[in-house]
Amino acid sequence: MPGPSATPIVLSARQRALLQSLDKRQTASTRLARRVAVLLALDADPHLAAVARSLGLTRLTVRHWRDRWFDAAPALLHAEQQGANDRRLLALIEQALDDAPRPGGPATFSPEQIVGIVAVACEPPERSGRPIDHWTARELADEVKRRKIVSDISPRTVSRFLKTGRAAAAQEPLLAQRQPA
């Protein structure tokens, strides 16, 4: 008994030409090229399993990009009807084939704040009026909060920033230490 019939994707002649130009582009990313190949193969043969087999992908991957194309098709068709130039239409196609945003919250600290934390860590603690020989993560966290570089930060987060800020085999410690007199 045959399964459900495949739903073909509909490409206008212009969309097909732009996808083919993307497929031939030397500077296209591998991901983009693979996604374009999926769409062009689906245009020729709407059967997911056959396209997946021919491209060495899973049916789920092929279905995912077919469905993403279905979602983007009305906007692409509207842009074509409004007389969008090839550059604009190509940008819309690339946007449709781009990675979806990843889950997760936004970064808590800006790059400027991280640089500020590292800069304070590189200063001698005496310059901040601290009666210590070298920075600890707790002292550094207190100091960057006092200077209003960040509103709140834990000593553990300060440690993480400093650990990732140094080379794997650092010759010198990242935290400034008082030099003997």
Question: What would the pLDDT profile of 124-134 be if each residue is shown by its tens digit?
Answer: 998 888 888 88
Indicate whether 171 belongs to any domain: no
**86 found inside a domain:** yes
For residue 6, being part of any structural domain is answered with no
One domain, residues 43 and 78: yes
The encoded tokens of residue 160 equal 């993480």
CA 91, 93, 95, 97 torsion-angle sign: negative
Number of domains in the chain: 2
Q: Does 180 map to a domain?
A: no
Single-letter amino acid, residue 50: A
- Residues 123, 84 within the same domain: no
**pLDDT score of 64:** 94
* Average pLDDT value for residue range 102-127: 89
Residue 39 lies in a domain: yes
Token pair recorded at residue 162: 């400093």
Q: Which pLDDT does position 174 carry in this prediction?
A: 53
Name residues whose C-beta falls within 8 Å of residue 141's C-beta, 6 or more positions apart in sequence. 153, 154, 155, 157, 158
Q: What is the pLDDT at residue 165? A: 54
pLDDT of 168 strictly over 50 = no
Same domain, 55 and 127: no
In this structure, the answer to whether residues 30 and 58 fall within a common structural domain is yes
Q: Do 67 and 134 reside in the same domain of the chain?
A: no
Kindly report the pTM of this predicted structure.
Answer: 0.57
Confidence check: pLDDT of 1 > 60: no
Q: Which residues form the domain of 22? A: 13-96
Q: Mention every residue, 6+ apart, whose C-beta is less than 8 A from residue 84.
A: 92
| Structural domain includes residue 3 | no
Verify that 57 and 129 share a domain, yes or no. no
The yes-or-no verdict on residue 169 having pLDDT over 70 is no
Question: Residue 89 and residue 14: Cα distance in Å, rounded?
Answer: 9
